[in-house]
Amino acid sequence: SCALVWFREDLRLADNPALHAALDSGKPALGLYVFDDATHGPRPLGGASRWWLAQSLRALARDCAAIGFPFVIRRGKTAEVVPAAVEETGADMVLWNRRYVASENQIDAALKERLRKDGREVESFNARLMFEPWEVTSKAGEPLKVYSPFWRACMARGEPRPPLPRPRKGKIAAAPALKGLTVDDLDLEPTTPDWAGGLREAWTPGETGARAALTDFIDHGLRGYADGRDRPDQPHVSRMSPHLRFGEVSPYQLWHAVERAKAEGDATATDVEKFRSELGWREFSYHLLHGNPDLATKNFNARFDAFPWKTPDSAHRKAWRKGLTGFPIVDAGMRQLWTTGWMHNRVRMICASFLIKDLMIDWREGEDWFWDTLVDADPANNSASWQWVAGSGADAAPYFRVFNPSLQGKKFDPQGDYVRAFVPELKDVPAKHIHEPWDAPREVLERAGVTLGETYPRRIVDHHAARDAALKAFGRIKDR
Ligand code: FAD
């Protein structure tokens, strides 16, 4: 008899309740990961996420080996591969941490039933969210649609539990190993062209990388987070999102790490509270996804079904994707996304607003591009955030609030450092003109070596005209 731990979106050893329970059982144990690109239903991972997954699985395999815990990777239909592995190992205990996408939930529920019928002990745990989506409700027992009461209801449930310790070598009885695949066998990474160079430079996926990034954030970013988190030119955000996405770190660990930082005088109460409330937005997204499994494709607010989106003009869409819109902050964001697989939150809002409101392209086009290119592409956060910007979401920004890209740039990247980092052709433009190169005196551009329309694009739309057109279109669905 042995315990099988099925890893999914929890690619870590510390604070892993399923793993912890296996070790507590005293049975010999082993770990399994199933790469399922055969089951119709769950949304396939995007390119950047596949790259991340490959690195994260390698790191997990290394970490498991270091503590003497057998870990195996297989590929195929989950509903077939998991029971086959249970059969082969003779596992009488199967443990996993919960996931929250409806199509995956259905697979898990069916597996649980089937394995239990077979006489196995099956247990699932909470590891990914601090508050289970179904546990938080209004007084009337309804799901919540507005963030503030949601987060208040979460907070009323009490402090999230402390993280579980990392298992140590020597504490584990290893079950006989299974034959498995290598990460290379999964073909997750690009070959030619190899577009992942920027990703490799920017990130260290895996639990150790996550821990180092967290320490770095706590030492250098957390103090000042509340005000600095809106500044893409400053190091005040944690960049924990891909690590959270793949479960290399848990929200419980983050929750308590920032508390410790406060106790040690490394952060103010305001910074800690703000950071936690952002983790709260992640919980809220999952709460919304739970009640609305089609959040990535269906307007939360059905009024938007009648919105007259423009058929995507492929030239506009291409310019947006490539960061060639002629609006420097938008271009910097879209290029940061393409080269590093991540974009600062403030800039995500600006770029999303630009696609939706300036170009009047359906938010789902943007959601899909982010899904493919973000290393943190998250089924709940990505769709909820796109709907939030579109105005079609729960507790969303009102549609008539249209971001002005150059004003946003001036406010949140006042020296233009963020733009310079990703739009090198503007690097010599002075701060005063960098967000509106079209208004810069000709000699300023000449000195900076910029010729609009040649070295850097002219604006693809006039923001004020585009804004008026979008508001007019919105007016048509407003009273429906
Ligand atoms: P920090 O500011 O350090 O925050 C810590 C954690 O809190 C984040 O890792 C994240 O888990 C959570 N968080 C912070 N802000 C938000 C938010 N606005 N909504 C939900 N959770 C939040 N986030 C994703 O994780 N995956 C996505 O696919 C995603 N797509 C987005 C698309 C758009 C159009 C927009 C506007 C936002 C999107 N976000 C997404 C939310 C947010 O931009 C990122 O979570 C954040 O930028 C990640 O950087 P960080 O870890 O440094 O954040």
pLDDT in tens, 247-287: 999 999 999 999 999 999 989 999 999 999 999 999 999 99
- Percent pLDDT > 90 in the chain is 94
Q: Is 48 in the pocket of ligand 1 (CB under 6 A)?
A: no
Binding residue ranges for FAD? 225, 275, 376-378
Distance CA 381, CA 366 (A): 13
Strands of 29-35's sheet, edge to edge? 71-75, 29-35, 2-7, 91-97, 121-125
Residues in Cβ contact with 372 at an 8 Å cutoff, skipping those fewer than 6 apart:
46, 47, 48
The DSSP H or E segment spanning 30 is strand 29-35
- Range with lowest mean pLDDT among 294-308, 326-340, 388-402: 388-402
- The confidence score (pLDDT) of residue 171 equals 82
- What's the pTM? 0.98
CATH of region 129-163+206-291: 1.25.40.80
For ligand 1, the distance from its centroid to the CA atom of residue 46, given in whole angstroms, is 17
* Alpha carbon 329 to its chain's center: 21
The CATH homologous superfamily for domain 2-127 is HUPs (3.40.50.620)
Most confident of 167-171, 384-388, 392-396: 384-388
Residue 478 has pLDDT above 80, yes or no: no
pLDDT per position as a tens digit, 359-377: 999 999 999 999 999 999 9
- Topology adopted by domain 302-478: DNA Cyclobutane Dipyrimidine Photolyase, subunit A; domain 3 (1.10.579)
Burial class (CB in 10 A: 0-12, 13-18, 19+), 266: middle
In the block, residue with structure tokens 């949601």: 150
Residue 480 has pLDDT above 70, yes or no: no
Enumerate the domain spans of the chain. Answer: 2-127, 129-163+206-291, 302-478
Q: Is 254 in the pocket of ligand 1 (CB under 6 A)?
A: no
For ligand 1, the distance from its centroid to the CA atom of residue 196, given in whole angstroms, is 21
Please give the number of the atom of ligand 1 that sits closest to the Cα of 388: 36
Helix and strand tally (H, E) in the chain?
Answer: 21, 5
- The confidence score (pLDDT) of residue 380 equals 98
Which among 262, 295, 259, 264 has a CA at the least distance from the CA of 279?
259
Distance CA 31, CA 33 (A): 7
Active-site amino acid positions: 278, 281, 309, 345, 363, 386
pLDDT per position as a tens digit, 103-132: 999 999 999 999 999 999 999 999 999 999
ipTM rounded to 2 decimals? 1.00
- The confidence score (pLDDT) of residue 311 equals 85
Residues in Cβ contact with 249 at an 8 Å cutoff, skipping those fewer than 6 apart:
12, 207, 210, 211, 214, 240, 243
Q: Is 237 in the pocket of ligand 1 (CB under 6 A)?
A: yes
Residue 172 has pLDDT above 90, yes or no: no
pLDDT per position as a tens digit, 37-51: 999 989 999 999 999
Q: Is 370 in the pocket of ligand 1 (CB under 6 A)?
A: yes
The three-state secondary structure class of 45 is: coil
